[in-house]
Each structure stands twice: as C-alpha cells, then as structure tokens.
Chains A and B, each alone.
Chain A
Amino acid sequence: MTNRTDKSIIQARNIEKIYPNGCHALKNVSLDINRGEVVVIIGPSGSGKSTFLRTLNQLETISDGTIHIDDVSLTDRKTNINKVREEVGMVFQSFNLFPHKTALGNVALSPIKVKKKPRAVAEQEGRELLKKVGLAERMNNYPSHLSGGQQQRVAIARALAMHPKIMLFDEPTSALDPEMVGEVLDVMKSLARDGMTMVVVTHEMGFAREVADRVVFMEEGELVFEESPERFFSSDNPRLQRFLGQVL
C-alpha cells in the first residue's frame, strides 16, 4: 500500500468512542481517505459504522484520537465546527428532510441562512441541483408528497447545495422500497463519477463492487479489514467470510 497521507482529505487516527452509557463503539479506528475516493463501509449491525461516519462531521464527539478534514483538526477547540460541516455533506437513512419546506425550500435553506446567498441565487442553484437528481417536476412538493426515493434524492441535493468537498452516506437506501433503491444509487454513482469524495455505509454489495475504490469492513467497533473491491470480495478473511455468508 502506498503512503496516501500527502493527498488524503480525511485522516482519522486511533479513534476511540465510548458513549456516556459505557458502550465502547469505536476501538482504535484509523482510516485515511483520499480526495475523490469512494470508500464503502460494511459490517454487521452495531459494529460502529454509523458512529464512525458521524464522528467525521462531529455529530458524535470522540473520546480519543484525532481527525483531520482537509488539514483542519476537528479535536482542536479553536476549530469552528460549523465551517467544517459546510464542507462535509451528510445523507441519512431516514432522509430527515425539513417537513415544513418544499423540496426547493429544503435545498435552498442552508445556502440562504448559512452562506447568506440571496434567495434568488440560492433558488436558481437549487433548481439546477434538483434537475440533476431528476426532480425538476417536484420542486414545489412538500416532503410528505414525495416517495421515499424522491425524498432521499432531495436530501442529496440539499447536501450538495453547500458545495461540500466530502459526502457522507449512512445507509441511504435502507429505508427505501426495493424499487426505489436504484434511482438513489444512480444519483450516487453519478456523483462518484464527478469526482466527489464519498464515504458510504451500505449493505448494497453491488454498489460497493461497482463504484468503491476501497471497501472497509468493521466489526464490534474495530476496523477489521480494508481492500480494493476485487480483493475485498475474494478475500478469505474468516470474520469477513462469516459476515458475507450472512448477507449474500
């Protein structure tokens, strides 16, 4: 393996996470991710995948270790975490769209309030993003009038509206009916083609095989194994084999 640190955009080193209730969710996890790389994280339920992803934008603080995003230390008290979060978009399993705003309102809200863009500019950009995710016709719908797949695509557009350098996806298709999974994965694939740095927690092995530059396997709070997709899926690591045997 080559030394990637010089061009890596995310450097997570020796991360420990112990929840207030004593649950030891991350044990000495280290991962470097390069600019433009797509990393897929898989692992059994409760293995700490979401916890790890959420430490990368500090929705979860860490108990020990260091994280640098684009050379900014997240553990440094002087770091303005809101600035870092502008650079790191996140897409949730349960969409978390703002129900009181239309699709366009969801996408334009943060650029208006955080980046102080004029409404007309933010809405113009928002319309283009919604067009890009295939929702040109649905801009003025409220989330309650959109299907799950449409809601998740709005959520992706909403994160992209802040022009992030990194996108985090936490099981973006797990809450979707099977027939809607494809439309969301297609949007993610096209994002990957455009060179977005992506960290994706998913159970979609097809997506991992096709799009990932690297696949990471986590179990019981540990990062067990990371490899390119070809080597990953042909590996004979016993813990990985056991997991793949269960899900495939």
Chain B
Amino acid sequence: MEKQSHLLLWKAVFVLIIIGLGFGIYAGSKSIDYTWRWERIPQYIINTEATTVRSPFDGSATIEKGKLIVTSDYGDDPLVIKKFDNLLVSNGDLVFEGDPLAEVENWNIGPLTWGLVMTLQLSVVSLVFAVVIGLFAGLARISSNPALRYLSITYIELIRGTPLLVQIFIFYFFIGTVLDLDRFTAGVAALSVFTGAYIAEIVRSGIQSISPGQMEAARSLGMNYVQAMVNVILPQAFKRTLPPMAGQFINLIKDSSLVSVISITDLTKAGREVVSSTFAPFEVWFAVALMYLVLTGALSWAIQRLEKRLSASD
C-alpha cells in the first residue's frame, strides 16, 4: 500500500513537470511576442478545393433521392451527379448549357503530407537496401576469408568514422555525377550505405551471441554452412537483434531528414518551404516534429508487436 501511493505521487510529479514544460514553451513564446497561428497549419497537411460542375447541354434538373439528374432537351444521355457538396439548382429548374449545377469538394494533399510520403519512401527503400548490405557485410565481418573480413572492416570503419552529411554530399556530388544518379537514388544510396554499416555490426554481434553449439548441431545433421545460417543461426539472431535493429530503423527515418540538403523535398524540406510561405515557423516545426513522431512511433509499435509474436519460444 505504502509503495502504491509513492508510485502515484511520482506519476503526479511527472505530469506536473510535463505541464510545466508546456507552460514554459507558451511563456517563452509570449516573451518574444509571438502570435500563434495554428489555424494556418492544417491546409498544408490536407485541404479542400471546390470545383463547379456545369451542365453540358440544355435541359431540366430533377432531384431524386439525393441525386441530381439533368435530362437533355435533345435526347442526349441524362447527366447524373450522385455526390455533391453544394447544390446550385432546385428541383424542376430549366438549365442551359454551361450553367453551374453543383459544387464538388476535392481533397488535396498538402506539401507537408507530400514531404511525409517522400520521407517514408526514402526510409523504406533505404531500409531494404541497408538490411541487405548490413546482412552481407555482417556475415563477411565474421568470415574466415581475410579478403571478405578486411573489406567489411574497412567499409564499416570508413562509414562510421565520417558524418552522414559529408557522405550525402560525396554520394550526390561525386558518385552521383560519375554514375549519373538522380537526387533520390543518390539520397537512398547514401542512407542505405550509412545504415548498412551499423546494421552489419548488429548482425555480427547477433550471430556471435548464438552459442557455437547451434552451428555444430546444425552441421552435424548434414546442413551446409548456408543452410545452417539460414535455418538455425539467423532466425535466432534475428530475434535477438530486433531491439537494436528497431533503434537503427528509427535512426534511419530521422537521418533521412539530412537528404533535404540535396534538394529532395522530404518532410524537413517541405517544412522549410511551408515556413517561408506562412511565417509561422514555430507551428510548422512542431507539426513536422509531430509527423516524424507518428512515423517512428508506428514503427516501434510494429516492432514491439513482432517481438511479442516471436517470444512464443521463450
């Protein structure tokens, strides 16, 4: 009982601190005389635009069960509009060619959402390549063949020893020019090569954490090295490396914001563009941060689900 009330107390402290921080932000913006204009943000995420439907011929309008039907005076097929947001004629009206009949609202995706989609594309494509690169580099890292091992070590050390931003510039300006890569490809290449080096280390430590007896048992049953890896070692290593892998995937999503420097319109670049047209930098960057959080949050939730599913054999 004593313990319980203590826990409750500390939870209350947590809530208070969060509220305090929120107030701090609010007070901070007050002190620099900032007017919040949150209402400007949603249109950059999603907006509606009304288009007017006009009559293609002379005729008369009837409204039946929520549908607008225009029958032609000259025997053309009648026009039926099933969905509209704003009716501009009434039942029995005569209409002429070109008369406005109704307004239909179209949903438009705003620039921030396009940025989010681009970030998602960049991350997913890079993730696939990074996992492939990381798997092979990790296996090469523990290979008994010195050529493979040294190649892998060189790759890992080079990548981990230089900043991602510099690598993106090298990929875009040097490799991209030599191989004639477009921005997106150069960005994906830089991100996957970068993340691959970290995944390689995760794969290596994952495989090495599996007891050597597993490999011996698999080989003693007649499996060759590849069969033993694929059927026995990697599935176990996979499960064990899920938490660090999840961290790496989340880093990838966040690191993808750096490719905005080579003019890929990802979420971050979209944010910059929206700031310059709204003059509402605080709101935009908070919205952008929230959108990144949605991506990374969804990913870590999905991986936690997967971990739960795989824990059946524990």
**Chain A contact residues, CB within 8 Å of chain B:** 57, 59, 82-83, 85-86, 88-90, 92, 94, 96-102, 109-110, 113-115, 142-144, 155, 158-159, 162
Contacts and interface: CB of A to CB of B under 8 A. Distances in A.
Chain A CB within 10 A, most for which of B217, B220, B223, B313:
B220
Nearest to B224: A82
Contact of A100 (B211, B219, B239): B239
A90 B216 CA distance: 9
B221 interface: yes
B230 to A, nearest CB: 8
A59 B222 contact: no
Which 7 interchain pairs have the tightest Cβ spacing? A96-B217, A86-B222, A110-B221, A96-B213, A90-B220, A142-B313, A114-B222
Nearest to B236: A100
A98 B216 contact: no
Contacts of B227: 113-114
B213 A92 contact: yes
Contacts of B314: 142, 144
A142 B236 CA distance: 13
A144 B211 CA distance: 15
Contacts of A90: 216-217, 220
B224 to A, nearest CB: 5
11 contacts: A59-B216, A85-B222, A86-B222, A89-B221, A96-B211, A97-B217, A109-B221, A110-B222, A115-B222, A144-B314, A162-B222
Interface of B: 211, 213-214, 216-224, 227, 231-232, 235-236, 239, 312-314
A102 B313 CA distance: 8
Contacts of A158: 221
A162 B221 CA distance: 7
Nearest to B312: A142
Contact of B221 (A102, A114, A142): A114
B174 to A, nearest CB: 44
Contacts of A162: 221-222
A142 B216 CA distance: 20
Nearest to B221: A110
Chain B CB within 10 A, most for which of A90, A100, A115, A143:
A100
